[in-house]
Amino acid sequence: MEATSVRLILLLPLLGAAINGMMGLFAPAYRKQETIIGAIGTLAVAVPFVLTVLLFLGHDHGAHIVSTYTWMAAGDLSISFDYRVDALSLIMTLIVTGIGALIHLYSMGYMHGDGGYWRFFAYLNLFIFAMLNLVLAENLLVLFLGWEGVGLCSYLLIGYWYTDLKNSAAANKAFIVNRIGDFAFLLAMFLLYQAMTTAGVAPFGLDFTTIFENADVLASGTVALIVLLLFIGATGKSAQIPLFVWLPDAMAGPTPVSALIHAATMVTSGLYLLARLSPVVLEAPGVMMLIAFVGAITAIMAATIAITQNDIKKVLAYSTVSQLGYMFVAAGVGAFFVAIFHVLTHAFFKACLFLGSGSVIHAMHHVEHDLEHKGVLPSSDLPYDGHFDAQDMRTMGGLKNHMPITRWTFLISTLAIAGIPFLAGFFSKDEILFKAFELGYNGATWAFVVWGIGIVTAILTAIYMMRCYMLTFEGRERWPGAMDTKPHESPWTMTVPLVVLAIGAALTGYIGLPPLIAEVLGTESWIHHYLGAEYGGPVAEFKAEHHVPHLTEGILLGVGALIAVVGVWLAWANYRKSGLETDNTIRRRLGAVYTLFANKYFVDEAYDATVVKPITEGSRKGLAPFDQNVVDGTVNGLAKSVSGLSGWWRGMQTGIVQNYALALVLGVVVVVALMIFV
């Protein structure tokens, strides 16, 4: 039964992609059947979610391997399409299929009327199939296939509206940047295979069971290099410094894509990889310190950028980068189960925020169309220079009066990500900060620096997220012709997922209660006991020799709650009083620093100057002439030689029988002469 369920969980999304993709491709009339297309796409993910719930309820806390068939076998290498069912893969599969099903339902309303409706759902289903292969794989190579599959689907979905060259450029950027991390991942696999087989581990198919059983045969230097390469691979998929630049541009895709790929699933695959290999990662403490610092710097850097953004999706994009930084901090201090805990809570509140922004954008596009119909647009009556932008928060305001469901769900998720007690983000964010502090308390003084950066990032998060809410839903209506043109709430296919996700954003934190609160309530942290290796789970963790005193832990909890409340209050008070003028005040006070934040630290410009232009200019000036003169010259020269020889030979074909007879006689004479004299 378990094997059948796993196969169905994997194959149903692939079947949905095949049906919608092939029918849409070869039967043009099918493309207009939006209800059928949406229903097939949604059920292809919802049914696997139900099957995963059943697996989860019947799971006995062990690891079960579901074998299918041997993919390749050569010498000591034997790779099989095997899948691993354990606590970690079940948690991730629940996230992928559960959040994925809600986003598919939402997409039925959001993408209504789009010419590529069938293609969009085919891509979404294909992405789910690839992601499920990633999280359920029993060996690194099958995991890598899923890893590359989500990269491909991300490219297809980011560039979904490919007729706009900006979208195509964003898709190319995401694809190319991710290839850098993927190359490091490949090197890590090659090095791991070489080290294992050299140590006599054979046959070895890069499977996790063999890796965990034989991790002690690896030299410390080899382990450190393997973990470093895996981390570089993770920085690509999970958008960390220096490979984070693709994710904000990825907002070019439809909003459901942002919610699915860039909030709940693909961007967390790097964290999943580190958690899956946590017993090996723990053997490289130097690399773990690097992971923690990269995560902390990424978190605060993205948070400062988010404060300056006016595009609602860009705010959420940089928020995602920042929250991913928090997750890497957790991995870097050895709290891998906490990283997965934050992956879970983040999936709910960030998916809700992205889908909420999509609901707002959907409404503002209707406002834009109404204004164009009334002749109000194009208009200069905008709070910024340029054309009306349905995603710019400066043209919003007052939407709470027109979109109550979107407003309340967005507010709940905003407070959750800000860390307001006792919503989901409060528990997972506080646990990350506590684990960093605990590591410092146990002698790793560098962890206190990471903890301090996390505290500053937490208050910045509360400020920029409350700013996002205030500019969107509170205050006066700032779009042109606001007296006569009103937005409206989204259809039920979009609001129902928002409500479910908001409930998750409020309640999922209770599965990971902090030790102090759990002790007071006489309970335990469920997710710790479910995932933790010391309780029979698959995720290893740093073992603290000295536990933080309860008084200190209580103070840390209070500090975490206080900074969240203060950050939310600061943003609420200032933007309620002054609205957009608050941004101008911040800009004047910060001066050049604000310019640095608003221009994203000029990272893209630096990459363009040091990497992109040298390669493109070098190719144009060096490789292009070589290609034209040497490669093309050789090919064209060979073609001309063949053409010339053919022309000469063709000239000999006169069609005169006497000439052919003469040639035949001469040939006979030559042959006879050779036979006589040679």
DSSP 578-603: HTTHHHHHHHHHHTHHHHHHHTGGGH
Question: Which of 575, 574, 568 is CA-nearest to residue 398?
Answer: 575
- Looking at residue 379, what is its pLDDT? 67
CA distance 245 to 251: 12
Pairwise CA distance, residues 193 & 111, whole Å? 45
Beta strands in 593-665 (DSSP E): none
In this structure, which amino acid lies at residue 122?
A
Residue 494 corresponds to which tokens in the numbers above?
Answer: 């979009």
Check if the beta carbon of residue 433 is closer than 8 Å to that of residue 480: no
User: 125-134 pLDDT, tens per residue?
Assistant: 999 999 999 9
pLDDT at 390: 87
Contact 21, 37 (CB under 8 A): no
CA dihedral 511, 514, 518, 519 (to 10 degrees): 160
Distances 173 to 149, 243, 373, 504 between C-alpha atoms, Å:
16, 11, 36, 33
Q: Assess whether the previous peptide bond of 378 is cis (omega < 30° from 0).
A: yes
Q: Are 534 and 445 in contact (CB under 8 A)?
A: no
- Could you tell me which residues are beta bridge partners of residue 84? 65
Which three-class secondary structure state does DSSP give residue 207? strand
- Does residue 108 come out as left (phi exceeding 0), alpha (psi in the -120 to 50 range) or beta? alpha
Q: State the Cα–Cα distance between residues 96 and 437, nearest whole angstrom.
A: 31
What angle (nearest 5°) sits at the alpha carbon of residue 613, between those of residues 612 and 618?
A: 110
pLDDT at 642: 86
pLDDT tens for 120-175 read: 999 999 999 999 999 999 999 999 999 999 999 999 999 998 888 888 999 999 99
Nearest to 284 by CA among 540, 10, 649: 540
The Cα–Cα gap between 59 and 96 comes to: 18
Question: Closest Cα to residue 242, out of 302, 287, 288, 189?
Answer: 302
CB count within 10 Å of CB 450 equals: 27
Tokens representing residue 444 in the block: 């790793």
Q: What is the mean pLDDT of residues 31-36?
A: 92
Predicted confidence at residue 517, as pLDDT, reads: 85
Query: Are 489 and 405 spatial neighbours (Cβ–Cβ below 8 Å)?
Result: yes
- As a whole number of angstroms, the distance between CA 599 and CA 596 comes to 5
Report the alpha-carbon distance of residue 553 to residue 549 in Å, rounded: 6
d(CA 360, CA 276): 37
Q: Does residue 181 register a pLDDT over 70?
A: yes
The amino acid present at 450, given as its one-letter code, is V
Q: What are phi and psi of 77, to 5 degrees?
A: -100, 125
Amino acid, res. 289: M
Is there a contact between 386 and 461 (Cβ–Cβ < 8 Å)? no
More confident residue, 266 or 95: 95
What is the DSSP code (8-state) at residue 104? H
Q: Which two tokens mark 359?
A: 């609901």
Of 60-64, 475-479, 528-532, 652-656, where does mean pLDDT reach its minimum?
A: 652-656
Backbone torsions φ then ψ of 222, nearest 5 degrees: -65, -45
Share of the chain above pLDDT 90, in %: 61
How many whole angstroms separate alpha carbon 26 and alpha carbon 24? 6
- pLDDT per position as a tens digit, 358-415: 999 999 988 888 888 877 777 667 777 778 888 999 999 899 999 999 999 999 999 9
Q: Which residue has the tokens 């890069």?
A: 206
Of the listed ranges 68-82, 342-356, 547-561, 565-579, the one predicted with least confidence: 68-82
**Of 81 and 381, which is predicted with more confidence?**
81
Q: Which helix (H) or strand (E) holds 70?
A: strand 64-74
Four-CA torsion 269, 271, 273, 277, nearest 10 degrees:
-170
- Residue 668's pLDDT is what? 86
Helix then strand count (H, E) for the chain reads: 29, 2
The model's confidence at residue 16, banded by pLDDT at 50, 70 and 90, is: very high
Residue 471 clears pLDDT 80, i.e. is over it: yes
Cα radius of gyration (the chain): 30
230 CB-near residues (< 8 Å, 6+ apart): 184, 185, 188, 273, 274, 277, 281
Helices (H), 374-423: 404-418
> How would you classify the pairing of strands 77-85 and 64-74?
antiparallel
73: part of which helix (H) or strand (E)? Answer: strand 64-74
* CA-to-CA separations, 146 to 10, 158, 226, 596, in angstroms, rounded: 11, 18, 20, 37
**What's the rounded Cα separation, in Å, for the pair 390 and 392?**
6
Decide which of 637 and 504 is more confident: 504
If you search the block for the tokens 């608003």, which residue do you land on?
A: 598
User: How distant, in Å, are the alpha carbons of 105, 106, 134, 305, 622 from that of 316?
Assistant: 21, 18, 25, 11, 41
Mean pLDDT to the nearest integer, 639-665: 78
Q: Quickly state the pLDDT bin for 678 (edges 50, 70, 90).
A: low
Q: 375 — alpha (psi -120 to 50), left (phi > 0) or beta?
A: left
More confident residue, 331 or 619: 331
Tokens linked to 348: 């709910």
CA dist 527 and 512 (Å) reads 6
Classify 490 as helix, strand or coil.
coil
For residue 511, give the amino acid letter: I
- Residue 259's contacts (CB-CB under 8 Å, 6 or more residues apart) are 99, 103, 106, 350, 351, 354, 355, 358
> What value, to the nearest 5°, has the Cα angle with vertex 205 and ends 203 and 209?
95
Would the pLDDT of 660 be above 90? no
Work out the angle between the directed axes of helices 285-306 and 220-237 (0-180°, nearest 10).
Answer: 20
Percent of the chain as helix, strand, coil, to the nearest 5:
75, 5, 20
In this prediction, residue 106 carries a pLDDT of 93
3-state secondary structure at position 676: helix
Question: Among residues 121, 138, 16, which one has the least CA distance to residue 78?
Answer: 138
What is the chain's mean pLDDT, rounded? Answer: 90
67 within 8 A of 80, measured Cβ to Cβ: yes
